[in-house]
């Protein structure tokens, strides 16, 4: 039986981690590979880098970060943010990433998912979807891009089904309504998506407590939970989250923290 994953997400801008990550004894607090290593030692089942660099120069730096991380971190590494073509995906994979998440680029060009899945395999193509609840029609969600600023008119469920049919091997599902609120995941959204696709779904947006993460898995049927600030601010450790999940009967990978 697959174990449920806990994934810390690091926002990277121009080669540095932004959003304060707090580990007391780090020599360089903003260095992505060092933070990734620390999270891996703390029991992260996978590390996610989200590149939020606006300038193209930031992209080259990202490849360097992925390379340096892959040389010292031996858990899966996912990279998202700004990958716009099969060529860019190839570069990120060659640098050592295991998976690449595509978001806006897939909305702009839906054939990108199938192109990348054919070339690199479904296992490394993650469709990242930012969904916003439709206030008019309850139980439906719309795909938004650009951090929620731009609506697309696409129905999130139909869009996800279409991407999975095109070869996406995993869904990174972010509730824009909950993102950054710490009020818990959108369980209804998770339940709807997990009941419609057979590929793993990663829950994102809204984690405020270990109980929220357990609920995303136990009630929302998510395969993995992704969170940023809850871990970075050291409010809850990965071990605490996993202990809560295990107590609720969720199968997780318990590791001994490496000193």
Task: Answer yes or no whether residue 101 interacts with another protein by CB under 8 A.
Answer: no
CA quadruple 75, 81, 84, 88: dihedral sign: negative
Site string for another protein, 106-145 (x = CB under 8 A): ---------------xxx----------------------
**Which of 51/91 has CB closer to another protein?**
91
Beta bridge partners of 11: 50
CB of 5 to another protein, least distance (A): 6
Task: Answer yes or no whether residue 200 interacts with another protein by CB under 8 A.
Answer: yes
Q: Which residues have a catalytic role annotated?
A: 11, 130
CA 203, CA 190: separation in Å to the nearest integer? 7
* Torsion angle of the four alpha carbons 99, 122, 107, 162, in this order, in degrees rounded to the nearest 10: -140
Do 48 and 10 form a contact (C-beta atoms < 8 A)? yes
Task: Pinpoint the alpha helices (H) of the chain.
Answer: 32-41, 57-70, 86-94, 104-108, 111-120, 156-165, 187-196, 210-218, 229-232, 238-247
**Which of 76/182 has CB closer to another protein?**
76
CB of 146 to another protein, least distance (A): 29
What DSSP line would sit under 107-137, residue for residue? HH-THHHHHHHHHH-GGGEEEEEEEEE-SSS
**Which of 68/232 has CB closer to another protein?**
68
Judged by DSSP in three states, 244 sits in: helix
Number of residues located near another protein, criterion CB under 8 A: 31
Task: Answer yes or no whether residue 199 interacts with another protein by CB under 8 A.
Answer: yes
Residue among 137, 165, 247, 258 that touches another protein (CB under 8 A): 258
Q: Which stretch binds another protein (CB under 8 A): 26-34, 81-89, 93-101, 174-182?
A: 93-101
CB of 222 to another protein, least distance (A): 12
Q: Greatest CA span in the chain, whole angstroms?
A: 52
Strand-pair category, 5-13 with 16-17 = antiparallel
Binding site for another protein (CB under 8 A): 1-3, 5, 40, 45, 67, 70-72, 74-76, 93-96, 98, 121-123, 169-170, 198-200, 223-224, 253, 255, 258
């Amino acid at each position: 039986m697959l174990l449920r994953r806990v994934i810390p997400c690091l926002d990277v801008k121009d080669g540095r981690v932004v959003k304060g990550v707090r580990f007391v004894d780090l020599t360089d607090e903003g260095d992505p590979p060092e933070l990734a290593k620390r999270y891996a030692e703390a029991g992260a089942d996978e590390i996610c880098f989200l590149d939020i660099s606006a300038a193209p120069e930031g992209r080259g730096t990202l490849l360097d970060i992925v390379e340096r991380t892959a040389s010292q971190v031996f858990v899966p590494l996912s990279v998202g943010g700004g990958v716009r073509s099969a060529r860019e995906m190839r570069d990120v994979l060659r640098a050592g990433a295991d998976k690449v998440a595509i978001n806006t680029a897939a909305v702009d060009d839906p054939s990108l998912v199938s192109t990348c899945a054919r070339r690199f395999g479904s296992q490394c193509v993650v469709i990242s979807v930012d969904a916003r609840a439709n206030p008019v029609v309850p139980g439906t969600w719309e795909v938004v891009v650009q951090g929620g600023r731009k609506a697309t008119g696409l129905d999130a469920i139909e869009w996800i089904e279409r991407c999975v049919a095109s070869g996406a091997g995993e869904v990174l599902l972010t509730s824009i309504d909950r993102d950054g609120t710490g009020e818990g995941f959108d369980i209804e959204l998770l339940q709807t998506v997990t009941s419609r696709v057979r590929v793993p779904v990663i829950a994102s947006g809204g984690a405020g407590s270990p109980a929220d993460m357990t609920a995303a898995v136990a009630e929302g049927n998510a395969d993995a939970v992704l969170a940023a600030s809850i871990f970075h601010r050291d409010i809850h450790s990965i071990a605490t989250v996993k202990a809560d999940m295990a107590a609720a009967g969720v199968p997780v990978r318990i590791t001994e923290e490496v000193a």
